[in-house]
Structure 1
């Protein structure tokens, strides 16, 4: 793409996406594709801040001319750009450009502590072993060929282009993509089901790149509401990913949000005084079956999140669920979480927690929705959505809605996807809660009394309540889970036996 094609008026979406992907490809060779995001997004955001600052400066000059003062101009700027820290200052540095870039980004963060703290991540820009001068200049020059101010980039184009890059980086990252990216069709479905309304608070305790918070904003806008009235909150343990989330929200035109970095289990930072902050909507796609998540400390959790028991040390799935339920606002609160099917049937401590969550005095679980296999980058197993509501509709009290949507997908080469029609059909079935002649548009669903679930010893396996070929295939995961648990037990027994044999003088 030439400079002329990008500076004469507005870019098209395709042009912008092509340019951004060219920026990523400028790093190919010295930088692993899985690490592109750590370099490309901060540079893109820096260019956007600088170009937007220029745009705001021009507006101030046009309005006040020679009467313009620093105090007046400050009111025009969303972000402060310290002297010597503009894009032009860095691009004109011909030697040790990485050091100049790193200093500029640090000073911009320091000048905007409330809004930009940590937003540029922790890349060592001056380390030429990781990022040679030639690769950095290729990256900078690619962005230098385009302006990202409001006069050059239409409306939501930047946000959409950012999402485009996230998808491309997820493709390049393979299974590691699950650490920061949930396929947007899954996010779209979950948010549609939770139905965010203007003025509500929304929290994601494992927010990754912030896609669920962005989707909530988009959904409110699509339904005629003002997304600026939403209060958006997220926590993310990974520094680079939390920075990506902040940039994502800003580039989607959102400013009233709070993204914090830290371990949600050991150091929850979304607080209201000494208590967990409560949200109208809590939603998450947390890491599945997280090991070493901090079970020991949860027995005495100061926030009372172990209200149904402490999950196994080697599997934090129910810790995420209990955390989300602990942040559900009384009355209006609802929660949606993506989980592996194992949470529906695993026994032991998890079975006891599941029983506690289903008992009549809690009765918060509204729906279990089984999704198709191979939707995610990080796993090919089928997953489910668990929907909780603090106050269920009267007709759903004492019941759980089961939906088998495993046949609703579009087959892909590497992954399956949900089309917009798939999302609409599943969402409509959730709201209707009635099957049509046993099957509706490729779906099976059933509203089940808690009494029947109790008779099944609180097993929520969809195949127990809806019998189809698809659910029979999903039941394979139950068999695999039992197999893996038995294999772990066998290994532990073998280890003990080996130790006893060695102690008795027998050598392998």
Structure 2
């Protein structure tokens, strides 16, 4: 059979549609969307390794050990390959960790191997094409809310604008401590490539193997993130060149400090683990309390703990953009302590208030915090302001039917890049269809609860009860957590 001829200029969307069509065939065999993308990842890696001279997969477990077998023998060999690859180190171990064959029908496995993956010379495609096609597949998976994969998806239009605002530079290390399928990391890599079209070979290699770092807790998602980056030309086989680590970012202090953090930590109220800076508060063999001496305060709130971790991870002068739900802005107790300490140790200069409907967790309102880590001994200046841009207008958004577009963020980006975020005097300004306001950092620090957005707090009734987190927001977060769990279960059953 003649192999398909896809060129570097081929349409990535057409390739996504082709890959997705086979998913529908396998759905009849009970394979969920996430399972299909996972199996596709294994087979793509094997095929691409076979196409490379001296690829990382040993010949006895490589692509050619599969393609000429009948259906039953192919299934047996495929399962053997997965077991062997899972025991390897480096990139192989990261891609194939705990890998299992979930395609029950041998004939359909052979269809996938021979008729889909085997008909394309994948290494002959540009990294942009095959990378964009794989990323498109992940996006389709995320938009299928039944799969539960949407909790790892941030709209690309929002990601691109955030990256442009933070403006990573060549030679800097960019990290996402809750990277999901690596959307922020890929956008940063693409931005750096576009901004530096005349890189030397040494600079290209450093960008591909040293500059992009992510951490992901969920093993299956870390696998997808690794493959997503690999298809875009990021990462290498050596342990030191792996772009993704499968781990819990919050469990230990960062081993290395970084220049830039871009992240959208998982939404939710509280985890099962409490993080404390005080060893004395841990009793005996308490496995649900983790000591982080670099944290400011004890809490089980995941978003607040991620903020503490990110500040600890940044170099002096480092920059961060973090997506957080509204409860981070209003929660009392530990929340107030963290807001105050963040202002003291970082320059929080911009808060972008996002409309509801952008994320998988429907109804949750989120924000993007932009801040820079202060130099040692640096204190907040009297002239410092927090600029707040209001994107919560009457326009309604949804993940599938009316997603956020780049043009929706054009005004914000223009004002941000003009320096307005740092120059505005205190007060409220209306421009276009949105409004912005600015507060002096010293005024915020002077308040008991250190509320970053006092106007929004007053609108929501929080000015009268500053010590209480908004009950409607908390109940919505609980409901969304339950819906995500149900969606994940349904995705496995269907």
Q: TM-score range by the shorter chain?
A: 0.7 to 0.9
- Counterpart-to-counterpart distance in 2, 1:482 and 1:174: 27
Which residue of 2 is the match for residue 497 of structure 1?
Answer: none
Which residue of 1 is the match for residue 46 of structure 2?
Answer: 46
Q: Residue 248 of structure 1: CA displacement?
A: 0.8
1:192 and 2:164 matched: yes
Look up the SS of the partner of 1:338 in the other structure: strand
Find the partner of 1:80 among 45, 49, 56.
Answer: 56
Q: Residue 110 of structure 1: CA displacement?
A: 5.3
Which residue of 2 is the match for residue 140 of structure 1?
Answer: 113
Q: Residue 459 of structure 1: CA displacement?
A: 4.7
Which residue of 2 is the match for residue 234 of structure 1?
Answer: 214
Equivalences for residues 170-319 of structure 1 within 5 A: 170-174=142-146, 176-224=148-196, 226=199, 228-230=205-207, 231-255=211-235, 256-267=241-252, 271=255, 277-295=256-274, 298-300=277-279, 303-307=292-296, 309-311=297-299, 313=300, 315-319=301-305
Which residue of 1 is the match for residue 4 of structure 2?
Answer: 6
- Counterpart-to-counterpart distance in 2, 1:144 and 1:428: 43
CA RMSD of aligned residues (A): 3.5
Do the aligned partners of residues 38 and 121 (structure 1) sit closer, same or farther apart at CA in structure 2, a change above 3 Å counting? farther
CA contact (8 A) 1:374 1:415 kept: no
- Counterpart-to-counterpart distance in 1, 2:461 and 2:44: 44
Look up the SS of the partner of 1:364 in the other structure: strand
CA contact (8 A) 1:334 1:390 kept: yes
Unaligned runs of 5+ in 2: 236-240, 280-289, 478-494
Look up the SS of the partner of 2:187 in the other structure: helix
Q: Residue 214 of structure 1: CA displacement?
A: 0.8
TM-score, normalising length: structure 2:
0.78
CA contact (8 A) 1:42 1:121 kept: no
Which residue of 2 is the match for residue 61 of structure 1?
Answer: none
CA contact (8 A) 1:409 1:422 kept: no
Q: Residue 257 of structure 1: CA displacement?
A: 4.4
Determine which structure has greater relative contact order: mean sequence separation of CA pairs < 8 Å that are 6+ residues apart, divided by chain length.
Answer: 2
- Counterpart-to-counterpart distance in 1, 2:411 and 2:275: 43
Unaligned runs of 5+ in 1: 57-76, 272-276, 489-508
Q: Residue 147 of structure 1: CA displacement?
A: 1.6
CA contact (8 A) 2:351 2:369 kept: yes
Per-residue CA deviations over 1:121-171 (Å, capped at 9, x if unaligned) read 43321x6xx6332332232234245223343x2341001001110111112
Q: Residue 265 of structure 1: CA displacement?
A: 1.8
CA contact (8 A) 1:293 1:316 kept: no
Look up the SS of the partner of 1:295 in the other structure: strand
1:89 and 2:65 matched: yes
Q: Residue 200 of structure 1: CA displacement?
A: 0.5
Whose Rg is larger? 1
Aligned length: 440
Which residue of 2 is the match for residue 460 of structure 1?
Answer: 451
Which residue of 1 is the match for residue 387 of structure 2?
Answer: 401
Which residue of 1 is the match for residue 335 of structure 2?
Answer: 350
